[in-house]
Amino acid sequence: MDLLKNRVGSTTSYTSLANDLQVSVHTVKYCSVCTHQGAPMVDYYQYHHTTYHEKTFHIDPSSFLEPLIRHLKPGDKLLDVGCGSGRDILWLKGHGFNVTGFERSKGLAALARKHTGCEIIEGDFQTYDFSKQKFDAILLSGSLVHIPHAHLESVFGHILDGVGNGGKVLVSLKEGDGSSVGEDGRAFFYWQDTELRNLFAKHIFRVLEFHKGTSKVNKSDIWLSYVLA
């Protein structure tokens, strides 16, 4: 947060998002991860889609996708919500699944289309009507890490409208307490295993698979990963 504060150039507040992220977001004069200036740091993933793609696309997702596909059958319809540049879609497509992506960043959506050849819906998962189509599984791989604690339950419940009868959900979040804001302006919200299990139970989901592991990008981050039914 200090780094973010040091870089702000005006007091123009992006109130609704700031409220949502529980941080103060101002017009950023100097971006800390590239050379763009004067643009609001409200969506890291839009401004830095190439950087994010280069940092994450090469990661082998087998260890977190295999526990999900153990509970699916070839041809099943999957929706990867917050799909980034398509790494997981590509892997799942290669394993015989029929995958659609969902992404808010236009830049990442375009990269995901280019790399996977799959349909990528552009939208905001907080407002999109997921009840229009039912999927055999929905992936939320790191996609909810920026959702403040007070909103996670409703956002999660909203996205579940897209899960068909007997459908599965893959969800991963970072372990810890409280929240942090990184040098690049992204706010992260941390969770304990028991809090998440309580939340899943409220939505009548049981845990089929659980894995706790170190991030492949940042060794100090611990990911809690669940397959739910």
Ligand X SMILES: C[S@@+](CC[C@H](N)C(=O)[O-])C[C@H]1O[C@@H](n2cnc3c(N)ncnc32)[C@H](O)[C@@H]1O
Q: Residue 83, interface with ligand X (CB under 6 A)?
A: yes
Who contacts 224 (Cβ-Cβ below 8 Å, separation ≥6)?
172, 173, 174, 175, 191, 193, 196, 210, 211, 212
84, 101, 167, 185: residue in contact with ligand X (rule CB under 6 A): 84
Token pair of 91 as six digits = 């892997």
21, 23, 31, 45: residue in contact with ligand X (rule CB under 6 A): 45
4, 99, 105, 162: residue in contact with ligand X (rule CB under 6 A): 105
Question: Quick one: the chain helix, strand, coil %, rounded to 5?
Answer: 35, 30, 35
Distance CA 52, CA 37 (A): 18
Residues 155-194 vs ligand X: string with x where CB under 6 A? Answer: ----------------------------------------
Q: Residue 116, interface with ligand X (CB under 6 A)?
A: no
Token pair of 194 as six digits = 């028991």
Q: Which is nearer to ligand X, 10 or 28 (CB)?
A: 28
Q: DSSP class of residue 196? A: H
Q: How many residues bind ligand X (CB under 6 A)?
A: 17
Q: Which is nearer to ligand X, 184 or 206 (CB)?
A: 184
Token pair of 128 as six digits = 């999109």
141, 167, 169, 228: residue in contact with ligand X (rule CB under 6 A): 141
User: Using CB under 6 A, which of the segments 7-15, 81-89, 159-167, 202-210 binds ligand X?
Assistant: 81-89
**Any idea what the Cα angle at residue 109 is, between residues 214 and 185, rounded to 5°?**
55
Distance CA 190, CA 171 (A): 14
Contacting residues toward ligand X, per CB under 6 A = 45, 56, 82-84, 103-105, 108, 124-126, 141-143, 145-146
